Amino acid sequence: MKNLINETAEIILNSKLTLALTGAGVSVESGIPDFRSAGGLWAKYNPAEYATISAFTERPEKVWEMLRDMDKVVSGARPNKAHIGMGELEKMGLLHHIITQNVDNLHQDGGSKNVIEYHGNASTLSCLWCKKGYKSEDKRKEHPPKCQCGKILKPDVIFFGEAISAQAMERSFQLAGSAEALMVVGTSAVVSPANTIPSIAKQNGAKIIEINKERTSLTGSVTDIFLKGSAGEIISELVDRIKDMRNAGYGTSL
């Protein structure tokens, strides 16, 4: 593993454009179960009944039964070592953008500013009718939270049946086509359109660094370096190694 960490550190230090693609595995260490896991939301709530945009527009009070459970978990979560480490890499000028499938705002809480969110962000709410927006924390005592116009508010996350932001997709595809390194962290990247990012980057010459607890469909196909284990531990070790190499003068002339 030490040799792989060293190799990864060299790739990142030499890369002029490095991206990260992240998924639920990054936030599991913050206490947020993957929705599809045994302890996730879909084990308790049928997504066809609770997570579609038509379900929300037709029965928002019912959908908010699930959303309250989601909010309890997400609002209590704090960034872990993976979020903080990626925030540090951004401040060092070595991680330029994060493309995330998560809605928990933990990348931003961990210090990252350049975050492209595929599935939205649960920290804000909007009215589908008058378009007024609110912070989730300001409406947490209302069950369900309502707009001043009287309508029930929707969290700014993508429900099944809603389109992912065209701007987010276009920007991520553009970046993937120019990236020299891509870190795939805490995701098997099988859900569209995130699953296209690694192949786009690979086709354009990027090195693919995969950090997951288990092998995925990417591992034997596009991955160049597979770092198996906890995202928090591996990214912390990687950040420390990069700092040591920088302090030793590696890459200062690049």
| 254 has pLDDT over 50 | no
Range of the domain at 218: 2-247
**Which domain CATH number covers 228?**
3.40.50.1220
Pairwise CA distance, residues 190 & 173, whole Å: 16
The active-site residue out of 96, 97, 119, 143 is: 119
pTM (two decimals): 0.93
Catalytic residue status for 119: yes
Task: Give me the residue label for tokens 């951004």.
Answer: 90
pLDDT, tens only, 49-100? 999 999 999 999 999 999 999 999 999 999 999 999 999 999 999 999 999 9
Number of domains present in the structure of the chain: 1
Pairwise CA distance, residues 42 & 35, whole Å: 6
Cα three-residue angle 32-38-41, rounded to 5 degrees = 55
What's the rounded mean pLDDT across residues 214-224?
93
Confidence band of 252 (pLDDT split at 50, 70, 90): low
SS3 for 8-38 is: HHHHHHHCCCEEEEECHHHHHCCCCCCCCCC
Grouping H, G, I as helix, E, B as strand and the rest as coil, residue 210 is strand
- Residue 80 counted as domain residue: yes
- Residue 122 counted as domain residue: yes
What single letter denotes the amino acid at residue 211?
I
Cα three-residue angle 130-131-135, rounded to 5 degrees = 125
Instruction: Give the pLDDT score at 92.
Output: 96
